[in-house]
Every structure is written in C-alpha cells, then in structure tokens.
Amino acid sequence: LIVAPPRTGKTVLLQNIASAIEENHPECYLIVLLIDERPEEVTDMRRTVKGEVVASTFDEPATRHVQVAEMVIEKAKRLV
C-alpha cells in the first residue's frame, strides 16, 4: 500500500517494483491495483508494466473503488 501526495514519485516507485518482480521472478502473475489515480497515471502504468493493471480513477465514486479492490482481492485468492 503506497499513499502519497500527487507528484511525489509513487507511480515511478510502483513501476520500479513491478519491473524488478518481472525481472527477478518471471514465473509470477503480477497484478497492479491503482485506486483513485489520474487517468494518465493509469495509462502510463499499463504501458510500462507487463502484468495486469486494474484501476479505478479519481472521477469514479468511492463505491466503485471498493468494488474494484474487492474484485482484485478475490481474483488473487483464486490464483493462490
């Protein structure tokens, strides 16, 4: 969980973490969940990360954020 103000580098940090996982553990199924992000950040992440990127942007209601997060958690449980 990474929470930080806008323009502080959290997207770059997540991209670096995802890249390191892809490089060091290519057998892993990578899911990146972005909640309450700007659409351009989501697009950048989808272009950079080879894994699955699931997102709910800042213009969506809080109920949608919860729905997306729960969906990803359930998917991750099924993968284990």
Query: Has residue 36 been placed in a domain?
Result: yes
Question: What pLDDT score was predicted for residue 73?
Answer: 97
Query: Has residue 21 been placed in a domain?
Result: no
Query: Has residue 67 been placed in a domain?
Result: yes
- Confidence check: pLDDT of 2 > 90: no
Query: Has residue 18 been placed in a domain?
Result: no
> Can you give the pTM of this predicted structure?
0.87
Query: Has residue 22 been placed in a domain?
Result: no
Render pLDDT for 9-21 as a digit per residue (tens, 0 to 9).
888 999 999 999 9
Query: Has residue 55 been placed in a domain?
Result: yes
33 DSSP β-pair partners:
54
Query: Has residue 43 been placed in a domain?
Result: yes
Four-CA torsion 36, 37, 43, 46, nearest 10 degrees: -70
Query: Has residue 6 been placed in a domain?
Result: no
Domain range enclosing 57:
28-79
Total structural domains within the chain:
1
Question: What pLDDT score was predicted for residue 3?
Answer: 84
